[in-house]
A = this chain, B = another copy of it.
Amino acid sequence: MTAPSAFDKLPPGDDLGLGLRSGARRWMNKDGSINVRRVGLPWFRPYELYHRLITMGGARFLALLFLGYLLTNLVFAGVYLAVGMEHFIRPGGSGFVDRLLDAFFFSAQTLTTVGYGHISPQSHLASAVAALESLLGLLSFALATGLLYGRFSRPHAQIRFSRHALVAPYRGGSGFMFRFVNKRSNQLIEVEATVVLSRLDPETGTRRFHTLALERSRINLFPANWTVVHPIDDASPLAGMDDAALRKINAEFIVLVKAFDDTFSQTIYQRTSYTAEEVLWGPPFTPMTRPAADGALELDIDLVDGVAG
Asked whether A39 lies within 8 Å of B146 as measured between CB atoms, the reply is: no
The A interface is mostly helix, strand or loop, or mixed, namely mixed
Binary interface encoding of chain A residues 181-192 relative to chain B, with 1 for a CB under 8 A from any of its CBs, else 0? 001111101000
Say yes or no: A48-B146 contact (C-beta < 8 A), given A287-B17, A291-B21.
no
Within A28-52, which residues are at the interface with B (CB < 8 Å)?
33-41, 45-48, 50-51
Q: Which of chain B's residues have a CB closer than 8 A to the CB of A139?
A: 65, 141, 144, 148
Within A257-296, which residues are at the interface with B (CB < 8 Å)?
260, 262-269, 271, 285, 287-289, 291-292, 295-296
- Report the copy number of this chain in the oligomer: 4
Within A5-21, which residues are at the interface with B (CB < 8 Å)?
5-7, 9-10, 15-18, 20-21
Asked whether A15 lies within 8 Å of B225 as measured between CB atoms, the reply is: yes
Partner-B contacts on A (CB < 8 A)? 5-7, 9-10, 15-18, 20-22, 24-25, 33-41, 45-48, 50-51, 55, 58, 65-66, 69, 73, 89, 91-92, 98, 101, 104-105, 108-110, 112-118, 120-122, 124, 127-128, 130-131, 134-135, 137-139, 141-146, 148-150, 152-156, 158, 179, 183-187, 189, 194, 216, 218-221, 223-227, 256, 260, 262-269, 271, 285, 287-289, 291-292, 295-303
